[in-house]
Copies of this chain bind each other. A is one copy, B any other.
Amino acid sequence: MALIPPKTPPGIMELLPRQQVAFQRLLDTIRTGFERFGFLPVETPVFESVDVLLTKSGGETEKQIYFVQSTGARQQNRDPELALRFDLTIPLARYVAEHEHDLAFPFRRYQIQRVYRGERNQKGRFREFYQCDIDVIGKDTLPLAYDAEMPAVIYHIFSELKIGGFRINFNNRKVLIGLLSGLDIADAERQKLVLREIDKLDKVGRDKVIETLTGGEIALLPDIAARILDLIGLNGSNAEILAALEAMPIADPVFRAGVTELRTVLDGLAAFGVPDTHYGINLAIARGLDYYTGTVYETFLTDFPGIGSVCSGGRYDNLASHYTRSTLPGVGISIGATRLFYQLSEAGLFKAETGTSQVLVTQLVPALTADYFLIASQLRQAGINTELQLEPAKIARQLKYADRAGIPLAVLLGEDELARHTVTVKDLRDGTQHTIARDVLAAALSALLAPRAAP
């Protein structure tokens, strides 16, 4: 029989078990952080109706959709009715609109699921990847204080992840929009084009941005373009930037509202106890998505600047206008866990973790099998993740297996140990060996497994 090549579909990050353990810990840390702030879990189906998913006409997104069709529907030659979600925002909007009367508002939800994009296949871009989202959704209104809570969540989680320094940059789109209006750039479409260029500042540099702003489609006067870039390039402490903004002779009410919102968020961050080493106003953050209407966030790892933003989000005026007439303002952030894991692994930061097993009970003497079973059961009852070696292999091979599988401790019991009511424990991390009485085995192994204090 010809073999079928066993291949993961292209564009997928499939992990070996010990990498999966490390990735799982990343997701667990994120989830624990979300729950610490009282967010409630939601899971939505992997596919949505095409009608629900494709509310916008055209656009980049629609070119990357995965359509889904059952065998029966295909045979009837119908157009697909389902498609895989490409983000968690549209499913959230549909979920809140559908279940509106069963939810308590402000509704705080977290969602950690995979999303799908039919991207061109290239290194570091994935067709299936995890997003870890939180959003707070209000009914009619949502106080600005929630905008200050988002960076507090980011600070908590990225501190727990222990992947080095990070900085949360934030801005307010009203400041930018109001600035443009104040400079007589009033047309909304033209404003969007300008914001899109501003977002590229970090990548392409000031000169290139000025060139685009003053050229072709946008055609700003050079003086106006320079004033915009001067403002968004404002430097200094948060208090200094805020003071400079407040002193600006721009009367536009949207601009003033944006500055006030920035100050409120800044005050909130201090009240939450987030250290100001870890956040700052960055007026160059525009976030291309038209969908954001106020505060916007981006988070950078200071040790890995090349990775780009690892957690972004912002405030929006109305989540679900396509599905309900209720006004549902919200604020949210998203961590792209697959990409984060991939890039930190490439940078050598996520090593393959030890496996899930903490102890391997080896098999030395087949006649003692019942004892091995019993020891394993006792350790499991004591809460120790225990694997039982049931292959009658040479002990050296069993220990090699434990080492390869990332199991730190091996328990050995032969006739000698049996007579003395002891076992031998090999610590595969440092090669040490211990003789331990059977009746205190679980406690002794727990002690060996406890995290060691730094010397």
Contacts and interface: CB of A to CB of B under 8 A. Distances in A.
Given A7-B98, A324-B6, A377-B272, A390 B72 contact: no
Interface string A35-72: 11111111111111101100100000011111111111
A405 interface: yes
Given A65-B70, A67-B69, A271-B369, 4 more contacts: A3-B322, A6-B95, A40-B357, A41-B356
A18 interface: yes
A305 to B, nearest CB: 29
Nearest to A405: B104
A118 interface: yes
A37 B380 contact: yes
A272 B18 CA distance: 27
B4 A45 contact: no
Given A143-B390, A369-B271, A95 B356 contact: no
A342 to B, nearest CB: 14
29 contacts: A3-B322, A3-B325, A4-B51, A6-B93, A6-B95, A6-B98, A6-B323, A8-B45, A8-B98, A9-B45, A9-B48, A9-B82, A15-B42, A36-B380, A37-B387, A38-B356, A38-B387, A40-B405, A46-B46, A62-B71, A65-B71, A67-B68, A67-B69, A67-B70, A104-B401, A143-B390, A271-B369, A272-B376, A273-B373
A401 B106 CA distance: 9
A49 B7 contact: yes
Contacts of A62: 71
Interface stretch (A145-153, A226-234, A281-289): A145-153
A135 to B, nearest CB: 12
Contacts of A37: 380, 385-387
Interface string A5-16: 111110010111
Contacts of A6: 52, 93-95, 97-98, 320, 323-324
A99 interface: yes
A268 interface: yes
Nearest to A13: B45
A108 to B, nearest CB: 7
A55 B2 CA distance: 11
Contact of A114 (B46, B156, B390, B407): B46
Interface of A: 1, 3-9, 12, 14-18, 20-21, 24, 34-49, 51-52, 55, 62-74, 80-82, 84, 93-95, 97-99, 102-106, 108-109, 114, 116, 118, 128, 138, 141-143, 145-146, 148-149, 152, 156, 267-268, 271-273, 320-325, 355-357, 360, 369-370, 373-374, 376-377, 380, 383-388, 390-392, 401, 404-405, 407
A355 B38 contact: yes
B70 A118 contact: yes
A4 B404 contact: no
Contacts of A36: 380, 383-386
A55 to B, nearest CB: 6
A55 B102 CA distance: 44
Contacts of A387: 37-38, 108
Contacts of A148: 373
B20 A41 contact: yes
Nearest to A149: B388
A249 to B, nearest CB: 31
Nearest to A130: B43
Contact of A156 (B12, B69, B380): B380
A322 B2 CA distance: 8
Contacts of A20: 40-43
A317 to B, nearest CB: 15
A118 B149 contact: no
Given A44-B14, A67-B71, A149-B388, A357 B38 contact: yes
Contacts of A17: 40-42, 103, 109
Contact of A45 (B14, B18, B41): B14
A143 B391 contact: yes
Contact of A106 (B44, B108, B391): B391
